[in-house]
Amino acid sequence: MTDALEVLVSELKETQPSVADQVIRSVMASNAGIIPHEASRATIAELLGITPEEYAQRIRGGEVRNQELFGYILDLRKSYKTALLSNAGTKSLEVRFAPGELDTYFDVIMVSAVIGFAKPGAKAYEAVAEKLGMRLDECVMIDDRQAYCEGARAIGMTAIQYSSMSRLKRELSAILEA
């Protein structure tokens, strides 16, 4: 998925930095399960001067599913364990995917608000590795955010920052063939 929230925060940093900081804090609290997703959405909507429904529509409207990436995950799953670690509210994945759909792609699905730990915190990555039954140094973390990749590397995982399918395939192949 593209990250409409990241685009929104980038825009706010340019025009209203203090509002951007408040949005980030609210999202982080929701991601860690400290506050309910609905409370975070209401707070952010109020900061933006719109309704929570308008905010949710703006975020969902800016998301586009990367079908090529999902196809690649299916190919990888034939030979490797796969996991999804999402910094999301408890219902965020439910509104984006059909029931059971993610089970097609991932052996393990962990949502930060449910487990109480969010990326880039070490405990989030450790929880996924444990659930997979793997050591940290056996895992490859793939994420489009540099901070999340750095968090994974800091505890011994290999990490690839996603920027394109061709680069991901090239970098992951090099790691898996080593």
Kindly report the pTM of this predicted structure: 0.74
Residues 6+ apart with CB under 8 A from 158: 137, 139, 140, 141, 152, 175
What does the pLDDT read at residue 94? 81
**How much of the chain, in percent, has pLDDT values that exceed 70?**
98
Give the pLDDT confidence of 147-169 residue by residue, as tens digits. Answer: 999 999 999 999 999 989 999 99
Range of lowest pLDDT (72-76, 115-119, 134-138)? 115-119
**How much of the chain, in percent, has pLDDT values that exceed 90?**
68
What does the pLDDT read at residue 93? 83
Residue type, 174: A
What does the pLDDT read at residue 83? 98
Class of the domain covering 67-177: alpha beta
**Would you kindly state where each structural domain of the chain is located, as residue ranges?**
4-61, 67-177
CA dist 56 and 44 (Å) reads 10
Contact 114, 108 (CB under 8 A): no
What does the pLDDT read at residue 7? 82
Kindly provide the b/e burial profile for residues 119-137, where b requires at least 16 CB atoms within 10 angstroms of the residue's own CB: bbbbebbbbbbebbeeebe
Q: Which band of pLDDT confidence, cut at 50, 70 and 90, is reported for residue 1?
A: very low
**First CA to last CA distance, the chain:** 29
Give the pLDDT confidence of 120-131 residue by residue, as tens digits. Answer: 999 999 999 999
pLDDT at residue 176 greater than cutoff 80: yes
What average pLDDT does this structure show over 60-78? 90
What does the pLDDT read at residue 52? 93
